[in-house]
Chains A and B, each alone.
Chain A
C-alpha cells in the first residue's frame, strides 16, 4: 500500500451561529496517497468546500472553526497547529485553487508579481529569480508569450487564462498536495477540458497529490483515483473510482451518476434529477440525512443514522441497505440513534 500523504480523521468543522454549532462537515474521515487524486463529490451545500478550507485552515478566516478531529499531513497535525506554523505549510507544501478565477486574483498586482510572491515568501529567492521562475511556470501551464503575460494585470486575461495563472500561482512552490475547489465550474465547457488535462499533466510532472472538489461525476470519472461522495456534511460512499462507477451503492451516488448527461441519460430519456433539495445544516432530518429524498427509504432510515462500513474491498458506504448488522439498538455498537 502506498504511503498516505493526508489523513483526515473524524473532522468536524463549521460555523458557530446563534442556534449553536452548525456542522458543515460531520466527522468525516478521508485519506489521500502520495501522487494520487481524491475527488470529493457532492451538491453545493454538502460541506465539501468547508472540508477543503479546513485542510488549509482557512476556515478560521471564513468565520468558522474546526471543532473536532485530526488532519494528519505527512507526520504533522494540522487541525491544532497555530496559524503561525500553518503559514509555513500553506502555499508551500499544500496549495489551493479556488472556484472563480475572475475574483481569485488581486486586481492591482501584475500576474507575474502574484505568482512570484509565493516563491519569495517560502523560498526567499531574489526578486529577479522569482520573476524568472514565475515566467517559466506560466509557460508550463500553457500560457503563450509568458514574458509579456507576466507583466499584465488579471483583467487583461480571459477566464481560462486566469485559471491557468491561478494554477501557476498554486504550483510555483511545487506543493506535495494541491486542493482544487471546483476549478472548472466557472469556465466554458471547452476550457474545462483543457484545464483538467493541464492538471493531470502537471500532477505527473510534479508528482503531487490532488484533492479535487467537484459536483460533477463526469469530472470525477476523468480525474479521480478514489472518490468520496458527500451529502449534508457526511461522507455517504467512498471507494476507488472503478468501484464507485462499477458498483455504485448509495442511492445518492446512484442518483448523481444518473444525472450525468451522456452516461445513463443518453438513451433519449429525460435527464434524471434527484427529487428535493439538500437540507440546510441547521435543519437536518432525523436518521439518515438522505432519507427524505431517497426512493428506497425504510422506517429504519428515518430513525437511525447509518455509518460508513466497508462492504466490498476498497469500497464503503453509509446506507442501511448495505448494513447487514442489526438496526436500531442492534449489535452495531457504532450506529448512533439520532437524539430527536
Chain B
C-alpha cells in the first residue's frame, strides 16, 4: 500500500518536488546550498554560458572604463575629418558624417545598452515578482484585479505603448527605462504567481503558518526564495530584450538623443549614409548582436543549470557511437 502511494507520487511531475518528501521542519528556514553549488558547477561546464559570461564581463569593463579607454570624446564634431574610412590613422573604425570617432562612440554606447538592459530587467523583476507574489499568495479579488491588469497590458502591443509615451512625454532616459519596465513586468508576474499557487499548498508553508509566521514573512522567506531560480532566468533573458528594445527606440529617434550616443542611434544615422560608408552600419549592429547573444547564452545556461532534468550534456554523437558499439539491437 505504502509502496503504491510512493510510486504514484513519483509519477507526478512536480517542479521542486524534493522538498515534499523531507520533513517540514528542516525546510522551514533554509534552502539547501547544494542546489546552488550543483547549479554553479553545471553552469561552468556549459561552454556557451561561460563564453557568454566572459563576453558580457568584457563589455561591462569597457562600459565602466569608457572614459579611459575611448580615444576621443564621442560627441566631438570634426567636420574636416568626416567620413574617414576604417583603419585611418588615429581613427581605427573611421569617423561618421560629423567626424566623430566611431570607436569612441561604440565604446560609450555600451554604457547606454548595459545600463538600460540591467536597470529595466531589475525593475521589471521587482515589479513582476511583487505583483505575482501578492496575487498568488492572497488570491481572491487581489488576484483577479492584477490578472485583469495583466490582460489589459497584454492587449496593447508593448512597442506601441513605448512609442506613445516617449513621443508624448519626451525622450528622457529615465522615462525610457520606466516605460520599458512598466510594459514588460507581466511575464514575470504570471510566472511568480503560478509558482506561488503551487508552492503555497506545500507542507512547509502550512507549517510556517501554524507557528505564526506573518504573510509577508512567508512570501519573502519561503516562497520567493523557492522561486529564485526561475526569476533569475527570466531576468537574464529580459536584459537582452531590453537592450534590443532600447536600440529599436533609439533607431526610431525616440530613445537616446543626439549628444548622447547609443548603438541604435548610430545605426539610424548609418542608414542615412549607407551609400557613403556602408561599413558604419556593421559595427553597432554587431555590438548589439554580440551582447544580446552573450546575455541569452548566460540565461539559457542558468536555466539549464537549475533544471534537474537536464544532466550534463553528452554529445549525442558520442552516445550514438557507444550504442552502436555495445548494442546488438537498435532503432
Direct touching of A and B (C-beta under 8 Å): yes
- Range class of the A interface residue count: 20 to 34
- Range class of the B interface residue count: 10 to 19
Question: Which residues of the partner chain B approach A100 to less than 8 Å between Cβ atoms?
Answer: 11
A79 within 8 A of B: yes
Taking a contact as CB atoms under 8 Å apart, the answer to whether B328 and A16 are in contact is no
Chain B's closest residue to A83 (CB) is: B331
A80 within 8 A of B: yes
Taking a contact as CB atoms under 8 Å apart, the answer to whether B322 and A185 are in contact is no
State the B residues within 8 Å of A (CB).
Answer: 1, 3-4, 7-8, 11, 311-312, 314, 319, 322-323, 326-331
Taking a contact as CB atoms under 8 Å apart, the answer to whether B4 and A66 are in contact is no
A167 within 8 A of B: no
Question: What distance in Å separates the Cβ of A130 from its nearest Cβ neighbour in chain B?
Answer: 28
A68 within 8 A of B: yes
Question: What distance in Å separates the Cβ of B242 from its nearest Cβ neighbour in chain A?
Answer: 38
Question: Which residues of the partner chain A approach B329 to less than 8 Å between Cβ atoms?
Answer: 57, 59-60, 65-66, 79-81
Question: Which residues of the partner chain A approach B7 to less than 8 Å between Cβ atoms?
Answer: 44, 185
Question: Which residues of the partner chain B approach A145 to less than 8 Å between Cβ atoms?
Answer: none
Sample of 27 A–B contacts (CB below 8 Å) = A16-B319, A16-B322, A16-B327, A21-B322, A21-B326, A44-B3, A44-B7, A59-B329, A60-B329, A65-B323, A65-B326, A65-B328, A66-B328, A67-B326, A67-B327, A68-B328, A79-B328, A79-B329, A80-B328, A83-B330, A185-B4, A185-B7, A185-B8, A186-B8, A189-B1, A215-B3, A261-B1
Question: Which residues of the partner chain A approach B323 to less than 8 Å between Cβ atoms?
Answer: 16, 65
Question: What distance in Å separates the Cβ of B216 from its nearest Cβ neighbour in chain A?
Answer: 39
Known: A16-B322, A185-B7. A60 touches B331 (CB 8 A): yes
Interface of B is mostly: loop
Across chains A and B, which 4 residue pairs bring their CB atoms closest together, nearest first? Answer: A65-B327, A16-B322, A66-B329, A60-B331
Question: Which residues of the partner chain B approach A68 to less than 8 Å between Cβ atoms?
Answer: 328
Chain B's closest residue to A66 (CB) is: B329
Question: Which residues of the partner chain A approach B326 to less than 8 Å between Cβ atoms?
Answer: 16, 21, 65, 67
A18 within 8 A of B: yes
Chain B's closest residue to A14 (CB) is: B326
Taking a contact as CB atoms under 8 Å apart, the answer to whether A18 and B312 are in contact is yes
Taking a contact as CB atoms under 8 Å apart, the answer to whether B3 and A60 are in contact is no
Known: A185-B7, A215-B3, A261-B1. A65 touches B330 (CB 8 A): yes
Taking a contact as CB atoms under 8 Å apart, the answer to whether A67 and B314 are in contact is no
A314 to B214, CA, bound (A): 66
A81 to B331, CA, bound (A): 10
Question: What distance in Å separates the Cβ of B317 from its nearest Cβ neighbour in chain A?
Answer: 13
